[in-house]
């Protein structure tokens, strides 16, 4: 079973997202846990969540991959932004327990001049202050393209963060194909080599989800510009090899391509028609 979906608007609640996903042929999806401008997140509605959980069961949904707001930066040089980010993280952990057992993906952050080591320390401190042994959500660090002072464009940096987190069993990694490519990992000509490197440095069992995107840029560009499948510099065939790779094919794949509903629906059916069941 291929678990594939896309990033969906969340303002109308869980049931609306579930129905939207089904209408696109998706059986997982991503969504922002709150308005990226921050402030208080919308009150969650238990009836809405229960109706969604039933729909997800009826349609054999895979794990959801919630996305933290882009404004979260746990390693900002500014203490008030760090505090705002830690509060959002803690609040999101509480809220996600209403839809148990899913994934929560976040960008490790940008150290903005503080240096990678200090940034990594701050990210790990925030996770250690927040993660609880009883939580059912797995928190995923997203591998980044390496724009500006972004942390997490190298497997070694992701590994160093994991090393410093106490509750490692609550942690995982989400790889984004556009980010990998723009970070310099050659997933077009050497997918096996990239996965071997990931396994050697981090451990393949930490890999929990894939963001499936083409890229507007050449390998190593460090710009982070997503493109629709087949319209970028990665191309359709390498992405089809990714969804079929024995070490990846059971993971949830999330499209974050610049698309409308019709475009997402087309990309989902393109991937489904090129997926081999195991």
Find the shortest distance in angstroms from Cβ 234 to Zn ion. Answer: 13
The yes-or-no answer on residue 59 being catalytic is: no
Q: How far is the CB of 67 from Fe ion (least distance, A)?
A: 6
Position 208 contacts Fe ion (CB under 5 A) = no
Smallest distance from the beta carbon of 30 to Fe ion, in angstroms? 8
Cβ proximity to Zn ion, 224 vs 267, nearer residue: 224
222 catalytic residue (yes or no): no
What is the per-residue DSSP string for the chain?
--EEEEB---TT-HHHHHHHHHHHT-S--EEESS-TT-SPPPPP-HHHHHHHHHHHHHTT----EEE--TT--TT-SSHHHHHHHHHHHHHHHHHHTTSTT-EEEE--EE-TTS-HHHHHHHHHHHHHHH--TT--PEEEEEP----TTEE-SSHHHHHHHHHH-S-GGGEEEEEEHHHHHHHT--TTT-HHHHHHHHHHHT-GGGEEEEEE-EESS-TT-----EE-TTSSSS-HHHHHHHHH-TTTTTSEEEE--S--HHHHHHHHHHHHHT----
- Choose the one of Zn ion, Fe ion, none that binds residue 211, judging by a C-beta under 5 to 8 angstroms depending on kind: Fe ion
Of 7, 34, 82, 226, which is the active-site residue? Answer: 226
Query: Could you say whether residue 211 binds Fe ion (CB under 5 A)?
Result: yes
224 has catalytic annotation: yes
Q: Which stretch binds Fe ion (CB under 5 A): 150-158, 174-182, 199-207, 260-268?
A: 174-182
Interacting span for Fe ion (CB under 5 A) from 74-82, 93-101, 154-162, 176-184: 176-184
Q: Which residues contact 70 (CB under 8 A, 6 or more apart)?
A: 36, 107
185 is catalytic: no
Catalytic residue selected from 20, 82, 95, 179: 179
Is 176 a residue that touches Fe ion (CB under 5 A)?
A: yes
User: Using the rule CB under 5 A, is 157 a contact of Zn ion?
Assistant: no
* Residue 76 C-beta: closest distance to Fe ion, Å: 17
224 binding Zn ion? (CB under 5 A): yes
Q: Which residues of this chain interact with Fe ion, rule CB under 5 A? A: 142, 176, 211
- As annotated, the active-site residues are 37, 67, 70, 107, 142, 176, 179, 211, 224, 226, 256
């Amino acid at each position: 079973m291929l678990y594939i979906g896309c990033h969906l608007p969340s303002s109308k609640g869980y049931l609306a997202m579930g129905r939207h996903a089904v209408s696109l042929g998706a059986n997982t999806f991503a969504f922002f846990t709150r308005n990226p401008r921050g402030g208080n997140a919308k009150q969650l509605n238990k009836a809405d969540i229960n109706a969604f959980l039933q729909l997800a069961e009826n349609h054999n949904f895979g794990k959801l991959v919630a996305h933290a707001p882009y404004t979260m930066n746990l390693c900002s040089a500014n203490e008030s932004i760090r505090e705002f980010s830690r509060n959002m993280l803690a609040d999101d952990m509480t809220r996600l327990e209403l839809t148990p057992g899913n994934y929560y993906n976040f960008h490790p952050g940008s150290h903005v001049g503080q240096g990678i080591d200090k940034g990594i320390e701050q990210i790990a401190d925030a996770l250690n202050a927040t993660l609880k042994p009883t939580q059912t959500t797995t928190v995923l660090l997203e591998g980044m393209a390496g724009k500006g002072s972004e942390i997490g464009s190298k497997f070694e940096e992701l590994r160093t963060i994991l090393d410093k987190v106490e509750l490692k069993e609550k942690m995982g990694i989400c790889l984004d194909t556009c980010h990998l490519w723009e970070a310099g990992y050659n997933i077009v000509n050497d997918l096996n080599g990239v996965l071997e490197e990931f396994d050697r440095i981090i451990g393949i069992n930490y890999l929990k989800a894939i963001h499936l995107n083409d890229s507007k840029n050449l390998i190593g560009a460090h710009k982070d510009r997503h493109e629709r499948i087949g319209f970028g510099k990665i191309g359709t065939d390498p992405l089809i090899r990714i969804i079929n790779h024995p070490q990846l094919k059971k993971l949830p794949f999330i499209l974050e391509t610049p698309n409308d509903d019709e475009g997402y629906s087309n990309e989902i059916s393109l991937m489904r028609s090129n997926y081999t069941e195991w």
